Amino acid sequence: MEKPVVYDNGLNLEATELRLGLPGTNEPEKQSSTSVRSKKRASPEMAEETRSKSSSCISDADDDAPPPKAQVVGWPPVRSYRKNSFQQRKGEAEGAGMYVKVSMDGAPYLRKIDLKVYKSYPELLNALENMFKFRIGEYSEREGYNGSDYTPAYEDKDGDWMLVGDVPWEMFISSCKRLRIMKGSE
Amino acid sequence: MPEPEVDTRRREIAGVLTGEFQSPSPDQVLENVLENVLLFLTSRRDRNAVSLVCKSWYRAEALTRSDLFIGNCYAVSPRRAIERFRRVRSVVLKGKPRFADFNLMPPNWGAYFTPWVTAMATSYPWLEKVYLKRMFVTDRDLELLAQSFPAFKELVLVCCDGFGTSGLAGIASKCRQLRVLDLIEDEVTDDEVDWISCFPESGTCLESLIFDCIECPINFEALERLVARSPSLRKLRLNRYVSIGQLYRLMIRAPQLTHLGSGSFSSSDIVAQGDQEPDYISAFAACKSLVCLSGFREIIPDYLPAIYPVCANLTSLNFSYANINTEQLKSVICHCHKLQIFWVLDSVCDEGLQAVAATCKELRELRVFPIDAREDSEGPVSEVGLQAISEGCRKLQSILYFCQRMTNAAVIAMSKNCPDLVVFRLCIMGRHRPDHITGEPMDEGFGAIVMNCKKLTRLAISGLLTDKAFSYIGKYGKLVRTLSVAFAGDSDMGLKYVLEGCPKLQKLEIRDSPFGDAALRSGLHHYYNMRFLWMSSCRLSRQGCEEIARAMPGLVVEVIRNENEEDKDGFEILYMYRSLERPRIDAPEFVTIL
């Protein structure tokens, strides 16, 4: 059994974290995919300033993909204007952990939240509860949310509506496009 | 200010009255006839040929040329151009080389508009049109332009920088005959000046207003009033600070538009559920003349169905800022039977391109841009998309395709299926990447393109390439005028093949390829026929470049250092071009002219 990840402040939040997975699920796999993603979110200014032509690279935990190369100036030949159009707004558009719309059944106005601000499901659900003034029930793998009329759902990249909490947090924030607090049981 | 010919006429009449008049010589008659005929000759290549016939024809041609095209602003001085061509109405000026767009050229390299506008202000009082590409234009230049040319009608600035909204305010307020103000991919500084409000309060003659590159908010109410008082407006391209609700308000005032840039195509954050949104569909349906659609800078795909009514008439659609997926594209493209020009992001994937191939049988130009422009990104399009396009769009003339994976087979297929290709630009974003199925270099693919596409004039190559690819280009690329090379080739032979084999080569831009001084020497016979040669991060030495400069006095040979470069002899870039003038005096410190 893997040693649980211990956070700096000594609290073991993993015990209360909502996620799907058998006990002893491989942590390092998640880590490497996280690190690749965080490279993708590296600021374009930093990338473009790297004037080194040698492709010195940091080898990745993932052996299959070729190691990421240091970014070369002016390559690929896309004008900065175009590159920057997407670096700024890609997060919003794809819902890759930035602002997503939140609707609640019965409420007249939508809200927007920044998913990047939250580190886990409990934090996110807490924030939603405060924003819309309601209470979510207990999550369980088998039964979803029990003990309340409200169920949090999200629309993923494929356009399907999914129950919040089923997939690991990192996967959730990279695929979540919008949120909806549904009222009444399914 | 009277035109020169008026003075001549006055003298002739005076001569008749005083009895001093002599019948014009046969030569003079011929020249007068020639002038009248030449007025109809517009092609600059034809005119260049005419001017070489004899001195008389040279003079006649010079007097009748009204459109001046200068492909390199440093090839000739303003004074020389103005002395030869005295009656110019329209000027095209191009400055920096294209690789400057990708931050390869240090800033402040040059290409200043100031000496040109200053000279033209006094010599071309009837100037009507100015078209600038990759020039440095200041607010003062624009101010001078606005003041000096009472008949001024068209200003088109492409990939320019150095000016801001205060310069635009000057143009808007002083150019009373202005019909066209097109700002395309410029860097415009936000001086917090409301330039839109500066257009004349009475009606305008505006036919085209393009400002989609301006990265600052505009006064929307003023724009709405401007559109309302511009009955001739046909082309309007908005920037991303115009929301879809605002777009609606403009469209209902201007249903006569033929070209529309739709701005952000999204709404502001708070949208009340159940609130009535304007009927976007009928606004688009009312634009019966719309043939060219672009914008979608921050698109909310839910709004896409609004454009369905115009799809059947569209000849040009630019989705290259629209982050949409395959299904969203399919829902639109299935209606676009007449489409000839299509720009899109690779977010639509190969399947999206297959849908394009299935419907757009009239497609002439395709550009597929990467949403994630880095070497190691995912790459949602591949040889599958390229193959599909080649099979469905047989009339294709121009393609620009960014991808992460490609095969020779698909490129060869395109060379056979699309014989009308004039422009083939393939950018495999990973450097030195081979055919991802066979592991072979991409030589055969590009070889097939030059071999089979007999009309090809522009080529950009990428991927793993050996000298063989260059030998194909030299052997078959007889019409190639523009060639872009990056991270390619094995040895000097590569560049030699091209310089010795391509007689029409005009613009050659090379980066990070192993070509050295010997290769450079092999082009001596051809450099005077070229507009420019750019070589950066290759294997050139200072002596090699000096040799060229000595051998060819009509070339300006610039070696450009990195600004931070300590070694005063080292350099990153060789940029050389033919010129009628002595080397320019406005070069910055990091440029050495040999």
pLDDT tens per residue, range B191-229: 999 999 999 999 899 999 999 999 999 999 999 999 999
Contact A48 B512 (CB under 8 A): no
User: How far does the CA of residue A44 sit from the closest CA of chain B (Å)?
Assistant: 10
Identify which of A71, A89, A159 has the shortest CB distance to residue B374.
Answer: A71
- Please tell me the predicted confidence (pLDDT) of residue B413: 98
Collapsing DSSP to helix, strand or coil, B484 comes out as: strand
pLDDT band at B432 (very low <50, low <70, confident <90, very high): very high
Q: What confidence tens digit (pLDDT) does each residue in B382-414 have? A: 999 999 999 999 999 999 999 999 999 999 999
- Cα–Cα distance measured from residue B265 to residue B246, given in angstroms and rounded to the nearest whole number: 10
- Segment B38-61 shows an average pLDDT of 89
- Please tell me the predicted confidence (pLDDT) of residue A157: 80
Partners of A48 on chain B (C-beta within 8 Å) are 103
Collapsing DSSP to helix, strand or coil, A112 comes out as: strand
Collapsing DSSP to helix, strand or coil, B406 comes out as: coil
How does DSSP classify residue B584?
A: P
Residue A74 corresponds to which tokens in the numbers above? 């002016």
**Nearest Cα to B307, choosing from B330, B328, B332?**
B332
A102 is a domain residue: yes
Using CA coordinates, name the residue in chain A closest to B186.
Answer: A81
**Nearest Cα to B152, choosing from B127, B180, B181, B120?**
B127
Q: Is the distance from CB of B325 to CB of B348 less than 8 angstroms?
A: yes
Identify which of A71, A79, A94 has the shortest CB distance to residue B102.
Answer: A79
- Cα–Cα distance measured from residue A56 to residue A58, given in angstroms and rounded to the nearest whole number: 7
- pLDDT of A58 strictly over 50: no
- pLDDT of B284 strictly over 50: yes
Count the residues in chain A.
186
Q: What confidence tens digit (pLDDT) does each residue in A77-95 have? A: 999 888 888 765 444 444 4
- pLDDT of B564 strictly over 70: no
- Please tell me the predicted confidence (pLDDT) of residue B404: 96
- pLDDT of B332 strictly over 50: yes
- Please tell me the predicted confidence (pLDDT) of residue A2: 44
User: How far does the CA of residue B54 sit from the closest CA of chain A (Å)?
Assistant: 45
Q: Furthest-apart CA pair in chain B: how many Å?
A: 90
Residue B430 corresponds to which tokens in the numbers above? 């990973």
A76 is a domain residue: no
CB proximity B270 to A under 8 Å: yes
Q: Is A100 exposed, middle or buried (0-12, 13-18, 19+ CB in 10 A)?
A: buried
- Please tell me the predicted confidence (pLDDT) of residue A50: 37
Q: Is the distance from CB of A152 to CB of A175 less than 8 angstroms?
A: no
- Please tell me the predicted confidence (pLDDT) of residue B282: 95
Q: Which residues pair with B533 in a beta bridge?
A: B508, B576
- pLDDT of B9 strictly over 70: no
Q: Furthest-apart CA pair in chain A: how many Å?
A: 59
Using CA coordinates, name the residue in chain A closest to B403.
Answer: A76
Provide the residue range defining the domain that includes A156: 97-111+132-181
- pLDDT of B252 strictly over 90: yes
pLDDT band at B18 (very low <50, low <70, confident <90, very high): low
Identify which of A69, A77, A108 has the shortest CB distance to residue B272.
Answer: A108
Peptide bond into B419 cis (omega under 30): no
- Segment A13-20 shows an average pLDDT of 57
Handedness of CA B581, B585, B587, B592 (dihedral sign): positive
Q: What confidence tens digit (pLDDT) does each residue in B463-493 have? A: 999 999 999 999 999 999 999 999 999 999 9
Greatest mean pLDDT among B35-49, B300-314, B562-576 lies in: B300-314
Does residue B546 come out as left (phi exceeding 0), alpha (psi in the -120 to 50 range) or beta? alpha
A86 is a domain residue: no
- Cα–Cα distance measured from residue B563 to residue B373, given in angstroms and rounded to the nearest whole number: 26
Partners of A79 on chain B (C-beta within 8 Å) are 101-102, 185
- Please tell me the predicted confidence (pLDDT) of residue A30: 38
- Segment B89-95 shows an average pLDDT of 97
Collapsing DSSP to helix, strand or coil, B539 comes out as: strand
Greatest mean pLDDT among A71-75, A131-135, B576-580 lies in: B576-580
User: How far does the CA of residue A14 sit from the closest CA of chain B (Å)?
Assistant: 31
Collapsing DSSP to helix, strand or coil, B29 comes out as: helix
Q: Residue B6: how many CA atoms within 13 Å on its side-chain side?
A: 3
- Cα–Cα distance measured from residue A166 to residue A172, given in angstroms and rounded to the nearest whole number: 9
- pLDDT of A67 strictly over 70: no
CB proximity B431 to A under 8 Å: yes
Instruction: Please count the residue pairs, one from chain A and one from chain B, whose beta carbons lie less than 8 angstroms apart.
Output: 96
Are β-strands A99-104 and A111-114 bridged in parallel, bridged antiparallel, or unpaired? antiparallel
Partners of A69 on chain B (C-beta within 8 Å) are 375-376, 430-431
List the single best residue of B99, B319, B376, B377 to mutate versus A (max A Cβ within 10 A).
B376
Q: Is the distance from CB of B193 to CB of B170 less than 8 angstroms?
A: no
Q: What percent of chain B has pLDDT over 90?
A: 83
pLDDT band at A122 (very low <50, low <70, confident <90, very high): confident
Collapsing DSSP to helix, strand or coil, B523 comes out as: coil
User: At which residue do the structure tokens 């200014």 appear?
Assistant: A45
Q: Is the distance from CB of B71 to CB of B531 less than 8 angstroms?
A: yes
Count the residues in chain B.
594
- Cα–Cα distance measured from residue A50 to residue A29, given in angstroms and rounded to the nearest whole number: 29
Contact B375 A48 (CB under 8 A): no
**Nearest Cα to B59, choosing from B40, B32, B77?**
B32
Using CA coordinates, name the residue in chain B closest to A37.
Answer: B377
Partners of A65 on chain B (C-beta within 8 Å) are 376
Q: Is the distance from CB of B450 to CB of B424 less than 8 angstroms?
A: no
- pLDDT of B253 strictly over 70: yes
- pLDDT of A186 strictly over 50: no
* Cα distances (angstroms) measured from residue A119 to each of A114, A124, A127, A152, B192: 11, 8, 12, 17, 39
- pLDDT of A69 strictly over 70: no
- Within 8 A by CB and 6+ apart from B238, the residues are B211, B212, B247, B250, B261, B262, B263, B295
A89 is a domain residue: no
- Cα–Cα distance measured from residue B560 to residue B557, given in angstroms and rounded to the nearest whole number: 10
CATH homologous superfamily for the domain B53-233: Ribonuclease Inhibitor (3.80.10.10)
- Please tell me the predicted confidence (pLDDT) of residue A43: 37
- Please tell me the predicted confidence (pLDDT) of residue A160: 86
CB proximity B320 to A under 8 Å: yes
Q: Residue B268 is which amino acid?
A: S
- Please tell me the predicted confidence (pLDDT) of residue A61: 39
Partners of A112 on chain B (C-beta within 8 Å) are 269
Partners of B104 on chain A (C-beta within 8 Å) are 73-74
List the single best residue of B134, B273, B431 to mutate versus A (max A Cβ within 10 A).
B273
Predicted ipTM of the assembly: 0.86
Contact A73 B103 (CB under 8 A): yes
A11 is a domain residue: no
Contact A75 B375 (CB under 8 A): yes
- Please tell me the predicted confidence (pLDDT) of residue A92: 44
Mean pLDDT, chain B, rounded, equals 93
- Please tell me the predicted confidence (pLDDT) of residue A146: 82
Q: What confidence tens digit (pLDDT) does each residue in B439-464 have? A: 999 999 999 999 999 999 999 999 99
pLDDT band at B377 (very low <50, low <70, confident <90, very high): confident
What are the strands, taking DSSP E only, across chain A? 99-104, 111-114, 138-140, 144-146, 150-155, 161-163, 178-183
| Number of CB atoms found within 10 A of residue A173's CB | 21
Residue B193 corresponds to which tokens in the numbers above? 């000046």
- Cα–Cα distance measured from residue B325 to residue B330, given in angstroms and rounded to the nearest whole number: 9
What are the sequence ranges of the domains in chain B? 53-233, 236-267+280-304
Q: How many domains does chain A have?
A: 1
User: How far does the CA of residue B373 sit from the closest CA of chain A (Å)?
Assistant: 6
Residue B158 corresponds to which tokens in the numbers above? 């492409």
Query: Cα angle vertex B404, ends B399, B405, to 5°?
Result: 90
Identify which of A69, A103, A109 has the shortest CB distance to residue B376.
Answer: A69
Partners of B374 on chain A (C-beta within 8 Å) are 40, 47, 71, 76
What are the strands, taking DSSP E only, across B213-355? 235-238, 259-262, 292-294, 316-319, 341-345
Partners of B484 on chain A (C-beta within 8 Å) are 77
Contact A73 B376 (CB under 8 A): no
A84 is a domain residue: no
- Segment B101-110 shows an average pLDDT of 91
- For B42-56, B320-334, B348-362, which range has the lowest pLDDT when averaged over its residues? B42-56
CB proximity B432 to A under 8 Å: no
- Cα–Cα distance measured from residue B427 to residue B255, given in angstroms and rounded to the nearest whole number: 39
Q: Is the distance from CB of B73 to CB of B116 less than 8 angstroms?
A: yes
- Segment A14-39 shows an average pLDDT of 44
Identify the CATH number of the domain in which residue A162 sits.
Answer: 3.10.20.90
Partners of B537 on chain A (C-beta within 8 Å) are 53
Q: Is the distance from CB of B401 to CB of B426 less than 8 angstroms?
A: yes
**Cβ under 8 Å to A: B residues 276-315:** 297-299
Q: What is the dihedral of CA B529, B533, B539, B544, to 10 degrees?
A: 50
Using CA coordinates, name the residue in chain A closest to B301.
Answer: A93
**Nearest Cα to B312, choosing from B283, B289, B328?**
B289
